[in-house]
Amino acid sequence: MPAPVRTPAPAPASRRSAAPGREPLWRDVLGEHLRSLRHKRGETLVETAGRAGVSPQYLSEVERGIKEPSSEMIAAMAGALGVTLVDLTLAVSENLKSARPTGRSAAVCRAALALAA
């Protein structure tokens, strides 16, 4: 019997480039920022996840932009990384703001930032 043909899985959301002219998703920017904070602290997924009260797999999925964490989970992960929820939200919003495409109306960008916060 021939071996089954396996197709490669699509790249995780945070590894995919946003289409030209499109804003990145909140979950992707959040995940990238959480990973950056964790790396700056020199921590493993297991260490940070343990303090946040989540599984390492869940934290990994959040960092890769696969999961949409609740506000409670975001607050727990922020606390485990030594930042406040406000500081984390502001940093992610600033990253979104700097990544916004040109040519879109200011109202649309403000609305996206309001939804992200």
- Give residue-wise pLDDT tens across range 46-60: 999 999 999 999 999
With beta carbons less than 8 A apart as the criterion, state whether 66 and 12 touch.
yes
The C-alpha atoms of residue 54 and residue 57 are separated, in whole angstroms, by: 8
The answer, yes or no, to whether residue 27 has pLDDT greater than 90, is yes
Predicted local confidence at residue 58, as pLDDT: 98
Hey, what's the torsion of the CAs at 85, 72, 15, 43, to 10 degrees? 70
Between helix 71-80 and helix 85-99 the angle, nearest 10°, is: 100
Return the CATH architecture of domain 24-116. Answer: Orthogonal Bundle (1.10)
Separation of alpha carbons 75 and 69, rounded Å: 10
Can you give the residue ranges of every domain in the chain?
24-116
